Structure 1
Amino acid sequence: MKRMVVGLLGCLLVGLLAVAAPLSLCDYHTPETSLSDMDLSFNYRYFDDPATEGIDVSSGRVSLGYNQLYDSPAMGFTLAGNGEVSLTGFSVTGWLGQGSGTLRYYLTEDMPFFGFGGVEGSLATGQPQPGLALSAGLGYGRFNDVTPLAKAFRIQNDLFALEAITDKLPDDVLMAIAKEIGRQIEYAEMKELVAAIETLIEDASGATLNARALLSIEEEILTTGNEKYCGWSVQGGVGYEIIDPFGGEKDLLITLSADAAFAPEPGSQFLFHASFFGPF
């Protein structure tokens, strides 16, 4: 009897926590995720002290990075690459580049088990030749693009700032707005999407949105470059070194990796990556 009471209390507590838990960006799920990101940076230091002979400092670097993630119920892929060029005296003195690609096939749509195949390459001024390796294995996990829900939260915040609404929107309305934004491609014109979101907000808040409020909604929908995503995956397998960058023996490799992404709020994104790639 005592165990039954404890069990019932535990179930009640879990239920209350589920009801009380606020809406999280990671609660949004979409059948298809497509994200890409590119970074370009440049820095250069130049200093010439007249009191000393010659130029004291003249060096810098140019860096480029690219990442792409695609996920669907049946398959997905990731592409990643980065390169860096070192400069001294405004001349190239060194460079390096790394790139990788992984193709995933999900074994079932209900559970995110997948088989993968990948390729990884590298090239640098210190290597006599490029390095190239292939890998294959199994993994578990999936990522979701939660940008539509992040936009829904930002729309709510914008309307607060404009005093167009006086209270927070219910969680189910925010989720409904996110789903409409996620279906943006299905709308022939932007004004139709804005009208659908306007109806959801006005029905929930009892307010009438003016032209400035509607313009802020459209601006937020069209905003790019602030994508958010959630999820995690772990994978492991074996690989083979097709080309050793230093001309050594071609090794049989083991590959392990773990990735995670979490967006606690519309303006934040936490990313985690850990990997091991080396010979047996």
Structure 2
Amino acid sequence: MSDASFLGIGGRFSYQGNGSDIRRNNGQASLSYNRFYHSLPFEWDLEFQGSGRIERTSEDKQEGSYDFEFHPGIRKYLNPLGNVFYSGELSIDRGENYDRPHIVVTPGLGYGRFIHVTPLARAVRIEEFLLEEGLIEGPLSKETLVALAQVINRESEYRTTYGPRYRVRWLEAMEEVIAESGRFVHGGLGGVGTVRIYEVLYQERVNQRFIGWWVRTGVEYQALTPFEHISRGDPGMSLRLRYSRPIGWRSQFGIDAEYTSPVTGDFGYDVFNVEVSLNYLYEVTNRIDFTVSNITTVNRRDPRFKTVFIERLQSGFLFYIENQILFKIGTDFHKVRGREIGHGLSMSIEYRLH
């Protein structure tokens, strides 16, 4: 079983332009919340992104607006040890120009699963810290790292068994695993080693790691349109693929692709939407991350119209100034076929509440 969450508030400043012209600049405050739960029979996750902003446009007008996105999803496996599941996904978003929230519901059936391997990343970070402090003679074997990760992943079990003072027993179990490798210089963690492990478990931010994939087919139903004068669209078929894999100990690669098309006479190529997101994260150090993502959207909303191609590339660095404070700087390039390349630069400060 794995359970993790993140809650943060932030602010940013950005500008947007086309060619040599700056179209607008704005200040923004944001709220982010992510949480997931993984077990053999059941998984769920949710993501919330909300922001409010004040913009000064090229006409020197000041405008205020807000928007948010909320995306929860659940997957229940027919057999706890199998890979077949039925699922439900909900998408609620409110754009600054919407009359009301846009709500889409997608029940489905799928195959595959993800394995949460963040505890292994924490074990590697602990190894790095112990090497820095000269507490172990050399790198730990893969078998020792896996055993240490298994103990880290059993935190809830230790909490249930030993109560408020479970951390003492939990750290002792980690020490025993490392001791069995014969790598300790002084026979144990000592005070310094205990403090460094505590930092990794409760203060250092270790990016979530997953390995695996799943594919899901379902029916997409538009429960509420964003504009009052527009009626609900026809239900559509939705086919979604997700894939994630760590590359070495420091990086993570992921794919999220979805195809949707209405279940009408326009099904297939006449009316459709395809979105493919590629994401890569590399931990430069335990305080600096590099991220890059590419989102490709191809859609055709009406058989009478041409297919629209949109490409968006984002990259940047994340600096962990303190354990709870994150500074982000990034670039953004987007291209719509037939138009100039759009570009932007953004900087933000984020404070981690939980």
> Which residue of structure 2 aligns with residue 63 of structure 1?
30
What code does the residue aligned with 2:221 have?
A: Y
Residue 147 of structure 2 is aligned to residue 176 of structure 1 = yes
> Which residue of structure 1 aligns with residue 46 of structure 2?
79
Q: Over the residues paired in the alignment, what is the CA RMSD in angstroms?
A: 2.7
| Structure 2 CA distance for aligned equivalents of residues 213 and 279 of structure 1 | 58
> Which residue of structure 1 aligns with residue 11 of structure 2?
42
1:87 to partner: Cα distance? 0.6
Residue 194 of structure 2 is aligned to residue 214 of structure 1 = yes
Consecutive unaligned residues in structure 2, runs of 5 or more: 16-23, 264-354
Three-state SS of the structure 2 residue aligned to 1:172 is helix
Which of 187, 201, 225 does residue 178 from structure 2 map onto? 201
- Write the deviation string for residues 33-58 of structure 1: whole angstroms up to 9, x where unpaired: 22323454322379xxxxxxxxxx86
In 2 relative to 1, CA 194–150 (structure 1 residues): closer, same or farther, beyond 3 Å? same
> Which residue of structure 1 aligns with residue 252 of structure 2?
269
1:238 to partner: Cα distance? 0.8
1:278 to partner: Cα distance? 5.0
What code does the residue aligned with 1:138 have?
A: L
Q: Under a length normalisation based on structure 1, what TM-score does the superposition of the two structures give?
A: 0.74
1:1-280 correspondence to structure 2 within 5 Å? 32-44=1-13, 59-88=26-55, 93-187=64-158, 188=162, 189-205=166-182, 207=184, 208-209=187-188, 210-223=190-203, 225-230=205-210, 231-246=212-227, 247-250=229-232, 251-277=234-260, 279-280=262-263
What code does the residue aligned with 1:216 have?
A: R
In 2 relative to 1, CA 244–58 (structure 1 residues): closer, same or farther, beyond 3 Å? closer
In 2 relative to 1, CA 129–214 (structure 1 residues): closer, same or farther, beyond 3 Å? closer
Percent identical among aligned pairs is: 26
- Write the deviation string for residues 178-232 of structure 1: whole angstroms up to 9, x where unpaired: 1111122333332222222222222312531343223323332333532422122
| Structure 2 CA distance for aligned equivalents of residues 152 and 45 of structure 1 | 37
What code does the residue aligned with 2:169 have?
A: E
CA contact 2:69–2:94 (8 Å) conserved in 1: yes
> Which residue of structure 1 aligns with residue 284 of structure 2?
none
| Structure 1 CA distance for aligned equivalents of residues 204 and 132 of structure 2 | 21
CA contact 1:154–1:266 (8 Å) conserved in 2: no
CA contact 1:135–1:239 (8 Å) conserved in 2: yes
1:92 to partner: Cα distance? 5.1
Number of equivalenced pairs:
240
What code does the residue aligned with 1:88 have?
A: E
| Structure 1 CA distance for aligned equivalents of residues 77 and 14 of structure 2 | 49
- Write the deviation string for residues 84-112 of structure 1: whole angstroms up to 9, x where unpaired: 32313696522222222222111122322
In 2 relative to 1, CA 256–66 (structure 1 residues): closer, same or farther, beyond 3 Å? farther
CA contact 2:3–2:37 (8 Å) conserved in 1: yes
In 2 relative to 1, CA 150–206 (structure 1 residues): closer, same or farther, beyond 3 Å? closer
1:128 to partner: Cα distance? 2.4
Q: Which has the larger radius of gyration?
A: 1
**Which one has a larger percent helix, Structure 1 or Structure 2?**
1
> Which residue of structure 2 aligns with residue 29 of structure 1?
none
Consecutive unaligned residues in structure 1, runs of 5 or more: 1-31, 47-56
**Which one has a larger percent strand, Structure 1 or Structure 2?**
2
Three-state SS of the structure 1 residue aligned to 2:247 is coil
| Structure 1 CA distance for aligned equivalents of residues 86 and 14 of structure 2 | 47
